[in-house]
Amino acid sequence: MSRLLASSKDEYIEQMKTVYAIDTGTVESVDWLLVIGGAAVTFVSIAALIYWISKIILRLYAVRRGKAALADGLFWKRMTIGIVLILFLIGGTWLVLLEQFFSLMRQWGWK
């Protein structure tokens, strides 16, 4: 029974590999869309970085005037998470993760 299930599972996976194959020609034909998307992500991430820097400067100015506390843990946690996400976008880390995912898929036999 176990062998039968393993056999049908392998056949199903092979069928899925042929049905949901990644066509590299399609990706190459929409290269212009990827360039526009990359430019949009760049502009958004730069705007987010400028916003992040302005929030830090305004916070430090408010601390100097005595309107806010420097030891506000929630503010610094949010700002840390924000800069990590911004650097994740700007640095292209998400592209590296995507490339590793597709490389892993190719190793598993997806074409």
- Domain range summary for the chain, segments of one domain joined by +: 31-106
Distances (CA, A) of 75 to 58, 70, 82, 83: 12, 9, 10, 12
pLDDT at site 60: 92
Burial 27-47 (b: 16+ CB within 10 A, else e): eeeeeeeeeeeeeeeeeebee
DSSP 68: S
Residue-wise pLDDT tens digits, 50-71: 999 999 999 999 999 988 888 8
Residue 3 is predicted with a pLDDT of 52
Quick one: pLDDT at residue 6? 54
Are 107 and 101 spatial neighbours (Cβ–Cβ below 8 Å)? no
Rg for the chain (alpha carbons), in Å? 23
Residues of the chain with pLDDT under 50: 1-2, 4
Handedness of CA 28, 32, 33, 35 (dihedral sign): positive
Percentage of the chain exceeding pLDDT 90: 27
